[in-house]
Chain A
Amino acid sequence: MLQSLHSNSQNAFGPRCTGSVIETQHLSKVYSRGLYALRDLSLTVGKSEFVFLTGPSGAGKSTFLRLLLMQDRPSEGELFVNGSNLSKLSRSEIQEYRRAIGFVFQDFKLIPTRTVLENISFVPQVLGVPAAQQRRRAFQVLKWVGLQHRMSAFPLDLSGGEQQRVAIARALVSDPVLLLADEPTGNLDPDLSLEIMNLLREVNAGGTTVVVATHDRELIRLVGRRTITLDAGQMVELA
């Protein structure tokens, strides 16, 4: 099933790079009064890799994801995704770039006034995909996360785990090459957390690069993937 999800041609952005999907060079983000959220960060994330980003609160995990989502611009250094320097993207190129990125947040960010299926088909809808394709593709990913029977429910009628699965389905509906997850299990109990991680592992198995920011060391140990540890905006450990 996962293979069929990725059977469509994946979105591409920038010049193709066979090695790393994410590459940073002396990346820094300075907020007001000279406070460094990230300092001199240099790392790479390979294609189809599953990477954990961890560290205490305020370590810079979310800031890094914000930079990757182009919600913020780096203050210093370079950030490349698939070979494109994100600092140099124009407004329309940012839109194009974001279409190739999936995102999952701790608070799910589902639209409460829309049904589960509408929450997912909303993405292709606002990207101008024809209506029939929107619903077909939305149903396909919803089935993949095992929630096709809840497609007419509203987000607030679902459990936290189900809401996060809907959020993952929404992230996958545009067939991204890179999936970013910011504390995706932060609101879930340990069993549901592992369930969500297994889902993300399946996504990764289909070829999508996955970056998960979490402070849950136990979960990282259970999943057992490469881990980048940040503290006070700097990389302190690469395991």
Chain B
Amino acid sequence: MRALDYALREGWASLWRGRGSTACAIIAIALAIVVLGSLLLVTWNVERLLAEWTSAAEFSVYLRDDATSEQRGAIETLIDGSGVADGREYVSKADALTRFRSEFTELAPLATGFEENPFPASVEVRVRAEAQNDGRADALVRRIAALPGVADVRYDREWLTRIASGLAAVRGTGFALALLMALAAAVTVASVVRLGLQARRDEIEIMQLVGSPIAFIRGPFVAEGLLQGGLGALIALVVLWLGFSAIGGWWGAELGAVLESGSLQFLPARFCASLVAGGMAVGGAGGLVAARHAA
């Protein structure tokens, strides 16, 4: 405990003494964590939105204008008996037109020039999450598409799948970049801590000569690295928060129109804590590498 107390006090004092060079190491760590944090922020939000969209997935069965009530009944019987649907709703041609006019008020005049209502009647089906994953929803869509009276079936899962796979590629590349930057940050920390070590050569020699335990000799350098890493991570979180807030301020309205209001969120506390811990780990590793030259 005394070794820890000593290491933290000496580590902080050394960090303050060499604050010029220390700033470089802190900035290097902060940059690495800003990259990693940005990546986490984007992927976490996109993953969350994908999950929301996936859980709210539904398909629409558009009926031919000449579809009979028997044909519609057969379609609905097949849907109800499949175990895929969480619920369904019949939207008549008139309902479709009303919905268009209320949801797209600026485009509403476009629908007034037709002699007949151009919108098809449809059956909207909310799909159970497990049915999306095990392929039963896809099978049902294919069966419905083949039924008489069906004009088209729209089940747009493909774009969700594409976003998910694109996200995985972005995440992989980003993590590789963040790892490289973390490595560079660790090397910077090690160099800065070694500078401090050179300045304290006499102290270290005396410590060795009086038989000081290794923990007392190396501890301050590891602590200095940990503190640099922790400070770098905290600065990175502040930068991320400011960036996130700025984006919200500049493009909040546009994003709100595309996404649901409040859909974008800053990283949760557990992610922030992990980033700080990661920064401290990188700094501590750099400090440990440097400390090995002390004793």
| Interface positions of A (Cβ within 8 A of B) | 69, 71, 94-99, 101, 103, 109, 111, 122-123, 125-128, 130, 174
Known A98-B211, A174-B210; further 5 A-B contacts with Cβ < 8 A: A98-B210, A103-B209, A111-B206, A126-B213, A127-B213
Closest to B215 in A: A128
- By size class, the interface of chain B is 10 to 19
Return the contact of A127 from the options B202, B203, B205, B212 (Cβ within 8 A): B212
Q: A96 with B202: in contact, given A128-B2, A128-B216 (CB under 8 Å)?
A: no
- A-B contacts, 17 of them at CB < 8 A, read A69-B209, A71-B209, A94-B211, A95-B211, A95-B212, A97-B211, A98-B209, A98-B210, A109-B205, A111-B202, A111-B206, A126-B207, A126-B212, A126-B216, A127-B210, A127-B216, A128-B2
What is the CA–CA distance of A69 and B211 in the complex, to the nearest angstrom?
10
**Chain B, interface SS category:** helix
Closest to B211 in A: A98
Q: A111 with B203: in contact, given A125-B6, A126-B216, A128-B216 (CB under 8 Å)?
A: yes
**Chain A, interface SS category:** mixed
Closest to A95 in B: B211
Closest to A173 in B: B210
Closest to A110 in B: B202
Contact residues in B for A98 (Cβ distance below 8 Å): 208-211
Please provide the chain B residues from 196 to 222 with a CB less than 8 Å away from any CB of chain A in the complex: 202-203, 205-214, 216-217
Return the contact of B210 from the options A71, A111, A123, A130 (Cβ within 8 A): A123
Residue B3 is within 8 A (CB to CB) of chain A in the complex: yes
Which of B3, B208, B209, B210 lies at the interface centre, i.e. has the most chain A CB atoms within 10 A of its CB?
B210
Contact residues in A for B2 (Cβ distance below 8 Å): 128, 130
| Interface positions of B (Cβ within 8 A of A) | 2-3, 6, 202-203, 205-214, 216-217
Kindly provide the distance from the CB of B233 to the nearest chain A CB, expressed in whole angstroms: 29
Contact residues in A for B3 (Cβ distance below 8 Å): 128
Contact residues in A for B216 (Cβ distance below 8 Å): 126-128
User: Sorted from nearest, which 4 A-B pairs have the closest CB atoms?
Assistant: A98-B211, A99-B211, A126-B212, A95-B211
Closest to A91 in B: B214
Contact residues in B for A127 (Cβ distance below 8 Å): 210-213, 216
Which of A101, A111, A122, A128 lies at the interface centre, i.e. has the most chain B CB atoms within 10 A of its CB?
A128
What is the CA–CA distance of A88 and B290 in the complex, to the nearest angstrom?
28
Contact residues in B for A130 (Cβ distance below 8 Å): 2
Contact residues in B for A96 (Cβ distance below 8 Å): 211
Closest to B5 in A: A131
What is the CA–CA distance of A94 and B217 in the complex, to the nearest angstrom?
15
Q: A122 with B211: in contact, given A128-B3, A128-B216, A130-B2 (CB under 8 Å)?
A: no
Kindly provide the distance from the CB of A184 to the nearest chain B CB, expressed in whole angstroms: 15
What is the CA–CA distance of A111 and B10 in the complex, to the nearest angstrom?
14
Contact residues in B for A128 (Cβ distance below 8 Å): 2-3, 213, 216
What is the CA–CA distance of A199 and B75 in the complex, to the nearest angstrom?
108
Contact residues in A for B202 (Cβ distance below 8 Å): 109, 111
What is the CA–CA distance of A96 and B216 in the complex, to the nearest angstrom?
14
Closest to B13 in A: A113
Kindly provide the distance from the CB of A178 to the nearest chain B CB, expressed in whole angstroms: 13
What is the CA–CA distance of A185 and B207 in the complex, to the nearest angstrom?
23
Q: Is the CB of B209 within 8 A of A99?
A: no
What is the CA–CA distance of A74 and B251 in the complex, to the nearest angstrom?
74
Contact residues in B for A109 (Cβ distance below 8 Å): 202, 205-206
Kindly provide the distance from the CB of B161 to the nearest chain A CB, expressed in whole angstroms: 59
What is the CA–CA distance of A99 and B216 in the complex, to the nearest angstrom?
14
Kindly provide the distance from the CB of B76 to the nearest chain A CB, expressed in whole angstroms: 80
Contact residues in B for A126 (Cβ distance below 8 Å): 6, 207, 210, 212-213, 216-217
Kindly provide the distance from the CB of B202 to the nearest chain A CB, expressed in whole angstroms: 6
Kindly provide the distance from the CB of B18 to the nearest chain A CB, expressed in whole angstroms: 12
Contact residues in A for B212 (Cβ distance below 8 Å): 95, 126-127
What is the CA–CA distance of A174 and B203 in the complex, to the nearest angstrom?
17
Contact residues in A for B203 (Cβ distance below 8 Å): 111, 122
Kindly provide the distance from the CB of A82 to the nearest chain B CB, expressed in whole angstroms: 14
What is the CA–CA distance of A138 and B2 in the complex, to the nearest angstrom?
18
Which of B6, B205, B212 lies at the interface centre, i.e. has the most chain A CB atoms within 10 A of its CB?
B212
What is the CA–CA distance of A110 and B6 in the complex, to the nearest angstrom?
19
